Each structure stands twice: as structure tokens, then as C-alpha cells.
Amino acid sequence: MEDLGGISIDSLKNTYQVEGNVGLAFNIGLLQCFMLCLRTNACLTLFFKNASRQCILHSKTFHYKSPTAMEIGWEAYLIIDLTGRCPTNFLYYRPLDLCYRIEDGTHMNMEDPNIDIVSQCYAKGSELIRVDSAEKQAYMEHALAGLPDTAYVCVQGSNYVVPGVWTYDDGIPFGYTNWEVGQPNGGNNPRNLGMDVSGTGLLWHDYPIPESKTCSYVCERR
């Protein structure tokens, strides 16, 4: 636990949320609330109110969806990795040993729609996230909750590194998929992978090159 720390989240000051918590405690101090969060593997964010000595733990950061309640006196804190496992300003979700950073809308419309996104992740010492398990898919749905229904999320994958085969950037074929019914539908034409927020469960779609959509994306350090 000495390898983890916490920082205040000013943007969430005077807000809190009980629903979806991974831990709830009363009549404890801030230090005890932090210790409870550090002992709770899924805890990434905590809310604490000193006047009532209440502590609420959550496994996401409320990046797109604000907490559901407002009340003066609540403070929010983010748990951060102190070991160097994660790059600066990345989040650390312990159950998946996942270092990640959410980036907002970037146009896909370029010669290779992922090239700029990929280079931005590389510049941060990371790569575009590969959603390679049901657990990671479920956590991305949780972490990205609140994205508008018109949004898209760019993730790692294409069918042109190995022609006609869906692989990650290093050529390893997909072992896990979450395709929408009828997807992929581009045949052997060069396509990139994205997740469609308008469907249930961030279902996967293939997108042609070039593509004029705007997508959010997630970088990860593996």
C-alpha cells in the first residue's frame, strides 16, 4: 500500500455518489478512508465528508459522467501509482494491473486514421489500448460511462497489419472480440477497430480508411 498515494480532485469538490460504490463507511477519518480505499483492490476514487465522517469508494474517475449528488463539504481524491509502473497522469486500476489515460475526441480522418492517436500514446510511453478480455471490456464500459450516444472510442486493432486478419498492432490475432451483430462488415478492405457508444455495451465496429468520425481513445501502459 505504500506504493500508492492520493491527490485531490478539485473538479469534483462538493459532489459525491453512493450508487455503484465499491465501499462505504461511516464515523471514520480521512486517513482511515484512504486506508480503506488502498485495501479495496477496485478502489480508484474516494469521496469523504469531514463533518459527517462519511467515506464512499468508487472504481472509476467520473471522467464523462459527474457524480449524482451535490452537497457542501464533500471532497474527492484519486488514488495514484507511486512505483513508476504507470506514466505520469495515468490512472491505475489494480484488479487488471491496468495503467490507462482517457483522451477526448480526435478525428479519425487522416491517411491512417489511427496514426496520430498511436503516436500520441507512444509519446506518453504507452500504446492505444487493446481490449483483449471480457474483464477489460467491462471495465472500459464502466470507466467510459457518460459518453454521448453519438460518440465512438478508438481502440487498438486492424485487419491490414496481417492482411485480412484482425490483429493488434504487433500482429497478434484477436483472442477476444465483442463485435456488434453484422460486424465486421468491411470484408478484406483495410479497416480499423472502434467501439460504438450508441449500442449496448460498447460494441465493436470496423471503420474504413479514411473515416471522418471523431473518437475518444484510451492509452495504456502494458
Q: Any idea which of 10-14, 54-58, 60-64 has the lowest mean pLDDT?
A: 60-64
pLDDT tier at 200 (50, 70, 90 boundaries)? low
The continuous run of DSSP H or E covering 217 comes out as strand 214-221
The secondary element (H helix, E strand) that includes residue 74 is: strand 74-81
Domains of the chain and CATH, by start? 4-81 (3.50.4.10), 96-221 (3.10.100.10)
Q: What residue spans of the chain are helical by DSSP H?
A: 30-39, 115-123, 134-143
What confidence tens digit (pLDDT) does each residue in 13-59 have? Answer: 999 999 999 999 999 999 999 999 999 999 999 999 999 999 999 99
Q: Classify 30 as helix, strand or coil.
A: helix
CB 179 within 8 A of CB 136: no
The answer to whether 79 and 1 are in contact (CB under 8 A) is no
Q: How far is CA 179 from the centre of its chain?
A: 19
27: which DSSP letter? S
Residue 197 pLDDT grade (very low, low, confident, very high; cuts 50, 70, 90): confident
d(CA 161, CA 166): 8
pLDDT of residue 115: 53
Average pLDDT, rounded, for the chain: 88
**What pLDDT does 111 receive?**
45
In the prediction, which pLDDT does 24 show? 97
Of all residues in the chain, the percent with pLDDT exceeding 70 is: 91
**How many C-beta neighbours within 10 Å does residue 68 have?**
12
**Residue 113: what pLDDT?**
47
Does the predicted TM-score (pTM) go above 0.95?
Answer: no
